[in-house]
Amino acid sequence: MIDQIVTGVFTLLGTLLGVALGLFGERWVRTWGEVRCVIEEDDWYGLIVSYSPEGGVPKERRLRVAFLNRKDLPVTVWDMHVEFYKGRKQLEEWARPAMQFVDERDQRGPVEPVNLPPHVTVTLALGVVPGRDDQLRELEDADRAVFVARLMGAEDKRRELAPPWREPAEG
């Protein structure tokens, strides 16, 4: 009799554990994996560059960034921007240049959230454009630039960009 009760209790516990793992475990396992953010060395480049002995000063920079979601669930990039620094201090908000999506025909659009489907590489082209001359002067003095992507469903991404804004002098 006691053997039957013990067997019944273990059967019940096993069933409940199986249901719990089935309901919650599968989703948890599907969230494993990373989201990769890849920016190659030549993916951050200047356009409309004027040159001086100190180096080239682009009026705009372009950024190509590739995301690969290695999770089994979609992830959303809900914000992207570039932070510029002078020393350890981030440039003030007014000096931050505007960012826009740029398509293959050079058409521009607002930066909006981007869905990253599972196991698919999504490549984006972004234009980084200061709107005023005083912003451009601040960017010329920046000594560090960092691309920041805020993700929903994964860890945020930060990637150093070089050069920050001004192209280095040749020779």
Domain at 55, CATH number: 2.60.40.1890
Are 78 and 12 in a shared domain? no
Are 42 and 7 in a shared domain? no
Output the pTM of the full model. 0.79
Are 43 and 127 in a shared domain? yes
Domains in the chain: how many in total? 2
pLDDT tens profile 21-53: 565 544 544 456 899 999 999 999 988 767 666
Region label for 143, one of left (φ > 0), alpha (ψ between -120 and 50) or beta (otherwise): alpha
What is the C-alpha to C-alpha distance for residues 26 and 55, in angstroms, rounded to an integer? 55
User: What is the average pLDDT across 58-77?
Assistant: 94
Are 96 and 160 in a shared domain? yes
Are 17 and 100 in a shared domain? no
Interacting residues of 63 by C-beta distance below 8 A, sequence separation 6+: 39, 43, 44, 82, 125, 126, 128, 147, 161
Q: Which domain holds residue 6?
A: 1-30
Are 9 and 40 in a shared domain? no
User: What is the average pLDDT across 81-95?
Assistant: 95
